[in-house]
Amino acid sequence: MRSVGLETRMALNAPPVGIYIRIVAIISLMLGLSDAGRLLGVNLGPVSPISTLGVTGFVYLAIFALARLSAAVGLWIKASWGAVLLVGSTGAELVLYLMGNPDIAMSAFGFAVRVVLLASILLIFVLSIRFNRARATD
């Protein structure tokens, strides 16, 4: 009983970066699941998602959806590869979209979510560097 109280106190004293990482992981998971739904043809009716997106667009969406879902798991367990995977996949998708690749299609809301996701993970990098420096000086 006593150790449970100690563990609870220690969990509450954890840095807020951990909570922030979990929020970004949930956003990444929701975006990945949304992309997976598009891959499965949710809301398309009898039309095939491959005919709607094209073969190349379907492959791009599958790669980015799997990368985003894997990154969400990595962020949830607070592994560094999750953040790297999220930055790489989201950055590549935004670069392809901004370069005018016809196979990458997203709405204005989808673009905004991806930009917020990229900015959030970069903010996590900055916060973790500051936290490690502060811990090193103690």
Domain of residue 53, residue span? 16-137
Residue 6 included in any domain: no
Give 58's contacts (C-beta < 8 A, 6+ positions apart). Answer: 39, 49, 50
Residue 121 included in any domain: yes
Residue 119 included in any domain: yes
Q: How many domains does the chain have?
A: 1
pLDDT, tens only, 2-56: 444 433 333 334 467 788 889 999 999 999 999 999 899 888 778 888 888 889 9
Helix (H) / strand (E) containing 16: helix 16-40
Torsion angle of the four alpha carbons 55, 60, 66, 72, in this order, in degrees rounded to the nearest 10: -150
Q: Is residue 61 within 8 Å of residue 106, measured between CB atoms?
A: no
Q: Cα separation of 61 and 37, whole Å?
A: 11
Residue 2 included in any domain: no
Residue 3 included in any domain: no
pLDDT, tens only, 48-99: 888 888 899 999 999 999 999 999 999 999 888 998 999 999 999 999 999 9
Residue 56 included in any domain: yes
Residue 5 included in any domain: no
Residue 7 included in any domain: no
**Start-to-end C-alpha separation, the chain:** 32
Instruction: Kindly report whether the global pTM for this prediction surpasses the value 0.85.
Output: no
Helix (H) / strand (E) containing 105: none
